[in-house]
Amino acid sequence: MITIGLDPVLVQLGHFSIRWYSLMIVTAIAVGTLVALKETRRKGISDDEVFSALTWCIIGGIIGARLLHVIDKLEYYLRNPLMILAFQEGGLAIIGAIGGGLITLLIYSRFHPLPIREFVDAAAVGVILGQAIGRVGCMINGDVVGTPTNLPWGVAYTHPNSLTPELGVPLHPAAGYELIWDLLVFGMLWPIRKRKMADGTVFFLYAALYSLGRFVITFFRVDQAVWLGLTQAQVLSLVILVVVTPLVAYLNRTSALSTGAH
């Protein structure tokens, strides 16, 4: 068993607290932005365009992430409505962040010229690395509750500020599983990002690979089932896989035919 006794609260100022989770989220956004920026520069997209679009995407992503989390835990937030704004406590649904950021980008592109598919390809490698960093915050926070386990890598939280419901009980480190999977996905996307593929392929591969991992890992999390024994995240992951997988094939088939025609 692995024991985590680190105080999730980094700074306490009266009733206001800053958690390691918040620091990791800020770090994730910063690192993800730098990686995405490296890619957009390689693709010839101007920095001004990138910073403007990313700013709105980050805002939309945070709103989407919180909204999906609140919907998932609606009963709790109906009883505690003020906690909806307690971002620093944790509770950002990654799939909601992706959806919120993508919707915001589509709206943004209606008013600003932006090569969307090239942009999301560049963003994908930064986003998945940022997700891995964010999961470090979840590991410290204890807000991703795994199912009980007797395996030697089971994690038990001991600090009273941890958000895990039961202290001292060994649980599957679900956030750690996702951290590892996110790094593996990053490792797969990074070397193929320069290959000759249809624009948008890297992003759709990211969405498919992340969804696949999230679907499996969620079996080791304590989440409420919403349909056929599957959780909200698993249902959404299946939808993404069903939609995205044929899109990858279609994009590259169309690109190949177009190249052949020339």
**Terminal Cα distance for the chain, rounded:** 61
Do residues 242 and 215 touch, judged by C-beta distance below 8 A? Answer: no
What pLDDT band is residue 90 in, cutting at 50, 70 and 90?
low
CA distances from 168 to 156, 171, 261 (A): 5, 9, 64
For the ranges 49-63, 67-81, 99-113, which has the lowest average pLDDT? 67-81
CA dist 66 and 88 (Å) reads 11
Do residues 221 and 231 touch, judged by C-beta distance below 8 A? Answer: yes
For the ranges 68-77, 137-146, 212-221, which has the lowest average pLDDT? 68-77
What pLDDT band is residue 80 in, cutting at 50, 70 and 90?
confident
pLDDT for the residue 198: 86
Say whether pLDDT at 78 is over 80: yes
Mean pLDDT of 121-132: 95
pLDDT for the residue 6: 95
CA dist 107 and 144 (Å) reads 32
Say whether pLDDT at 88 is over 80: no
CA torsion angle 129 130 132 136 (round to 10): 150
User: What residues does each domain of the chain span?
Assistant: 2-261
Q: What are the beta bridge partners of residue 13?
A: 16
The amino acid at 85: L
pLDDT for the residue 127: 94
Mean pLDDT of 71-85: 82
Mean pLDDT of 74-80: 83
Per residue in 181-234, pLDDT tens? Answer: 999 999 999 999 988 888 889 999 999 999 999 999 999 999 888 888 899 899
pLDDT for the residue 160: 94
For the ranges 89-103, 106-120, 191-205, which has the lowest average pLDDT? 89-103
Say whether pLDDT at 261 is over 70: no
